[in-house]
Amino acid sequence: MRVGINLPQLGRATTAALLIQAAERAEALGYDSLWVWERLLAPVTPQTPYPGSADGQLPAACSYAWDPLTVLGAVASRTRRVALGTSVLDIPYHNPVVLARALTTLDHLSSGRVRVGLGVGWSKDEFDAVGSRLDQRAARADEFLEVLRAVWTTDPVEFQGRFYQIPRSVVGLKPVQKPHPPVFLATYVPAGLERIGKHADGWNPVGLPVEAMTTMTARMREAAKAAGRDPGRLEVIVRANLGLTPEPLGAGRPIFCGTLEQVKEDVARVRQMGAAELFFDPAVYGAVSPEPEDYLALMERLRTLV
């Protein structure tokens, strides 16, 4: 099982120097991948409560978020081996033609190390900010993935859909990876698992018990088989949002929350489940202080743990 970690792109302690230092240190420690995620804004009075907190507010660090693709572009030039992934970019916030070009450029800058994690979003405040609609997100997602694939793999490119249209055009710059960078979708619902089976290269779950992930992985593979694809080629890449405590948590604790020893048990179960990769995010639940030296120290502890 491959092991990755999120870059420290959130919070006021983040600096350009820290991002580069963390990326270089992760590669030296033997991590397989570096990840970033997308947060546009932190609403003062959320229209859609954040599901990860009791009061519906986003973690404080989310109010100070660096742009994910710009961060990956910077660290691409300072690393040589680690994969560079997004977990996740929200489909409704992007135009697929523009995003396809940005990801293709990043794939060239990194010599073919890009992994594309996508989601459909959940925050009405962010949807309002970009002029998108919550009630169209599923329908747009299917078409969005078709446009990405068309731009990445055909030339001239032409597409006529409900939401997106591309006049017959030449888009000569194609990704280094063939046929295109792997695409992973974050989803919790059957329709999303079917979307993976038809259009994507795997699943990027977060916050689910191992039992639920096992059941949903089987459904994803069934959807791939029904779509005429090889289900064995789809990967599961688990996002581990860390919530570390000094004392063990009792029964019913969230996955990857508790002491480091309890987290180690969760990692072992995810490996046994057959996940292709697991990557840690220490920022969401405040598993590490904002101080750069603490983040770098935790990176070392987690690598040793796994």
Q: Is the pLDDT of residue 112 over 80?
A: yes
Q: Is the dihedral angle over the CA atoms 83, 122, 244, 235 positive or is it negative?
A: negative
Tens of pLDDT, residue by residue over 53-103, are 888 999 888 889 999 999 999 999 999 999 999 999 999 999 999 999 999
Greater confidence (240 vs 287) lies with: 240
pTM of the full predicted structure? 0.95
What does the pLDDT read at residue 293?
Answer: 87
Residue 26, pLDDT > 80, answer yes
- Sign of the CA dihedral running 160, 161, 162, 167: negative
pLDDT at 37: 95
pLDDT of residue 208: 97
Q: What is the arithmetic mean of pLDDT over 171-195?
A: 97
The rounded mean pLDDT for the chain is 95
pLDDT of residue 285: 74
List the Cα angle 128/43/143 in 5-degree steps: 35
β partners of residue 114: 84
Q: Which of 160-169, 246-255, 271-280, 287-296 has the lowest mean pLDDT?
A: 287-296
pLDDT reported for residue 51? 82
Task: Find the helix or strand (DSSP H, E) in which 6 lies.
Answer: strand 2-6
Q: What is the pLDDT of residues 188-199, one digit of tens each?
A: 999 999 999 999
pLDDT value at position 53? 83
CB atoms within 10 A of CB 8: 29
Q: What is the pLDDT of residue 62?
A: 87
Residues 6 or more apart whose CB falls under 8 angstroms from that of 297 comprise none
DSSP 60: G
| Per-residue confidence (pLDDT) for residue 73, from 0 to 100 | 98
Burial of 11 (0-12, 13-18, 19+ CB in 10 A): buried
Count of domains in the chain? 1
Q: Is the pLDDT of residue 52 over 80?
A: no
pLDDT value for 212: 97
- Where helices occur in the chain by DSSP H, the ranges are 16-29, 68-76, 96-109, 124-130, 137-153, 190-199, 210-226, 260-273, 292-305
Higher pLDDT, 282 or 202: 202
Distances (CA, A) of 59 to 10, 86, 118, 175: 10, 19, 21, 35
Q: Say whether pLDDT at 297 is over 70.
A: yes
How many CB atoms within 10 Å of residue 70?
A: 12
pLDDT score recorded for residue 147 = 98
* 3-class SS of residue 98: helix
Asked if pLDDT for residue 262 goes beyond 90, the answer is yes
**Rounded Cα–Cα distance for residues 118 and 120 (Å):** 7
- Tell which residue, 200, 181, 206, has the closest CA to residue 72: 181
User: If pLDDT is split at 50, 70 and 90, which confidence band does 277 have?
Assistant: very high
Q: What is the pLDDT of residue 61?
A: 84
DSSP three-state, residue 164? coil
CA 263 vs. chain centroid, Å, equals 20
Mean predicted confidence (pLDDT) in 164-179: 97
Q: Do 42 and 98 contact (CB within 8 A), yes or no?
A: no
User: What is the CATH number for 221?
Assistant: 3.20.20.30
Return the higher-pLDDT residue of 52 and 270: 270
Question: 296 lies in which domain range?
Answer: 2-305
Average pLDDT over residues 266-279: 98
- pLDDT band of residue 290 (cuts 50, 70, 90) is low
Mean pLDDT of 203-218: 97
The residues near 70 (Cβ < 8 Å, ≥ 6 apart) are: none
